[in-house]
Amino acid sequence: MSVVPGSVRAEVVTRAGNRCEYCRLPARGQVATFPIDHVNPRTAGGSDDPSNLALACPSCNGHKWAFTDGADPASGEPVRLFNPRSDIWEEHPGWSSVSPGQLVATTAIGRGTIERLRMNDSDLIVLRRLLAEDGLFPEIT
Ligand SMILES: [Zn+2]
């Protein structure tokens, strides 16, 4: 496990708005401390520089592990994962208006990332809905 200096962690947390930069789960109210993800994994030469770091919830971080790619479930083709440092979140995953709390994607990168990080596991959808009911997840409309 990588240990990022406290000052760097604070910078990453603030930049992320204290929420997962992959699925947008807020850290507030969660029991576990959100880990710092290396967007480009250290095993692939990724650095500890803030430009390579992202706040990730334990679920996204655990499923991302050292992966940088996945497969688009619509085509089966390989696709790189969403990069919180260079991609715009709203352009890849978004919220379903049909099933609140569920993520949908309009791009191959978004679909591949949702699949690889298992962002739509049923427990996560329920958690997002409960947080939204308490006003802790205002993105869901
Ligand atoms: Zn997440």
Q: What is the pLDDT of residues 98-116, one digit of tens each?
A: 788 899 998 999 999 999 9
Measured in Å, residue 23 CA sits from the centre of ligand 1 at 4
Residue 76 alpha carbon to ligand 1 centre in Å: 23
pTM, to two decimals: 0.92
pLDDT of residue 2: 58
Residue boundaries of the structural domains of the chain: 6-133
Neighbours of ion ligand 1 (CB under 5 A): 20, 22-23, 25, 57, 60
Quote the ligand 1 centre to 107 CA distance (angstroms).
Answer: 18
Q: What is the DSSP string of 80-115?
A: EPP-TTTS-GGGSEEE-SSSTT-EEESSHHHHHHHH
The residue among 29, 12, 101, 115 whose CA lies nearest residue 69 is 115
Could you tell me if 12 and 55 are in contact, meaning their C-beta atoms sit under 8 angstroms apart?
Answer: yes
How far is the centre of ligand 1, averaged over its atoms, from the C-alpha of 129 (Å)? 15
pLDDT over threshold 90, residue 139: no
CA of 118 to the centre of ligand 1 (A): 9
| Cβ pair 46, 40 in contact under 8 A | yes
Question: Which pLDDT does position 141 carry in this prediction?
Answer: 46
pLDDT at 7 over 70: yes
- Compute the distance from residue 133 Cα to the ligand 1 centre, in Å: 19
- Cβ-based neighbour number of residue 92 at 10 Å: 21
**Band of pLDDT at residue 1, cut at 50, 70 and 90:** low
17-61, pLDDT tens digit by residue? 999 999 999 998 888 999 999 999 999 999 999 999 999 999 999
How many Cβ atoms sit within 10 Å of the Cβ of residue 135? 7
- Centre of ligand 1 to C-alpha 26, Å, is 9
Q: Residue 94 carries which side chain, given as an amino acid letter?
A: G
Residues belonging to the chain? 141
Residue 86 Cα to ligand 1 middle (Å) = 17
Q: What is the mean pLDDT of the chain?
A: 91
User: Average pLDDT for residues 66-86, to the nearest whole number?
Assistant: 97
Quickly count: other Cβ atoms within 10 Å of residue 132's Cβ: 17
